[in-house]
Amino acid sequence: MSVGTPVSGAVLFGTTIFAIAMDATYVVVTISVLGVPYDATSSFLRGPAAAPEVIRRALHCGSANWFTELGDEVDPADGVWVDHGDLDGLPSSPEFAFVKIRERAAALAADGPAIFLGGDHYVTYPLVAGVAQHHGDLTILHVDAHPDLYDELDGERHSHATPFARIMEEGVARRLVQFGIRTATAHQRDQIERFGVEVHTAAEWDGGLPDVSGNVYVTIDVDGLDPAFAPGVSHHEPGGLTTRDVLGLIHQVARRDDVRLVGADIVEINPERDIHDMTAMLGAKLLRELLGAAGRRP
Ligand code: MN
Ligand code: MN
């Protein structure tokens, strides 16, 4: 595919010229954004259901421009991405919510890359299941303080602490690579072993992207960052990643010609715990950089 030859279903924007000069040739496709205001499986505090709204407000507050750090313009007025609003009317029962979330994710994934705003981390299970219907052989890059690999928590198999156990036992993803982990229990270490999860702990990770290729889904539980950078989360776990660590991960995904970002989510922002919208602004920044990465098609 060459510059000036738009492929069917994709749009080539003049704004890509700047980035073409800096990086590989690519076309920009339309990206879907969807809010998933669901936090009924949170084990400690509710609140993340309100996050999509505060992330959007931060994104559109006028304090920043629409260029990513890599030089991609993601102005919604250019049609680079479409905000589909929130997936409303979600039932509190996780089993029922699962079906609704998976179906909507699958429908959006059929049209191109999709970025989701949670919600608690349970939503990643149906989101990945939906995206995987159109993009097989997924590698999940997972930022979190917690492995979220419990077989069950407090007797509940559908919890924000269990999504990756469900994903891995059902074979929904091929690989799970975690970054920023610093709370693994003995049980979760067994689960890491059982599912062959690749873990880069907060203490050990050097900031590099391991050798991944093909279809990638990025899930960012914002408590993977240190509470100093992201106070608006339910579970403050000191000793975490920096904002720069996580941006670096996104930028490495964006720059790799052999990696295709097909989906992403930003979860676990709890506006009730936020200070001066710091974490909402972080969510908006992560969304902007993810939009830039998802728009790249080598
Ligand atoms: Mn999580
Ligand atoms: Mn977490």
CA 231 – ligand 2 centroid, Å: 13
CA 135 – ligand 2 centroid, Å: 25
Question: Which residue(s) pair with 198 in the sheet?
Answer: 177
- The ligand with the least distance to the CA atom of 241 is 2
DSSP category for residue 271 = G
CA 221 – ligand 1 centroid, Å: 5
Identify the pLDDT of residue 28: 52
Structure tokens at 54: 């505060």
What CATH architecture applies to the domain 30-295? 3-Layer(aba) Sandwich (3.40)
CB 163 within 8 A of CB 124: yes
| Secondary structure (DSSP) of 165-181 | HHHHHTT--SEEEEEEE
pLDDT averaged over 10-residue windows placed end to end, the chain, 298 residues: 35 38 54 97 91 98 96 93 97 96 97 96 98 96 98 95 98 98 98 98 98 97 98 98 98 96 98 98 98 86
CA 286 – ligand 2 centroid, Å: 16
Place of tokens 């929130």: 86
Written as one letter, the residue type at 1 is: M
CA 121 – ligand 1 centroid, Å: 5
Identify the pLDDT of residue 96: 96
Strands (E), the chain: 31-36, 81-86, 114-118, 139-143, 175-181, 198-201, 214-221, 259-267
Identify the pLDDT of residue 2: 33
- The ligand with the least distance to the CA atom of 120 is 1
Structure tokens at 178: 């975690």
CA 70 – ligand 1 centroid, Å: 27
Q: What count of other Cβ atoms lies within 10 Å of the Cβ of residue 69?
A: 13
Domain boundaries, the chain: 30-295
CA 271 – ligand 2 centroid, Å: 15
CA 89 – ligand 2 centroid, Å: 25
User: What's the CA gap between 243 and 224, in Å, rounded?
Assistant: 10
Q: What count of other Cβ atoms lies within 10 Å of the Cβ of residue 126?
A: 28
CA 279 – ligand 1 centroid, Å: 16
Identify the pLDDT of residue 298: 55
- The ligand with the least distance to the CA atom of 164 is 1
User: What's the CA gap between 126 and 173, in Å, rounded?
Assistant: 12
Q: How far is CA 19 from CA 26, 210, 247, 295, in A?
A: 9, 24, 18, 11
CA 234 – ligand 2 centroid, Å: 9
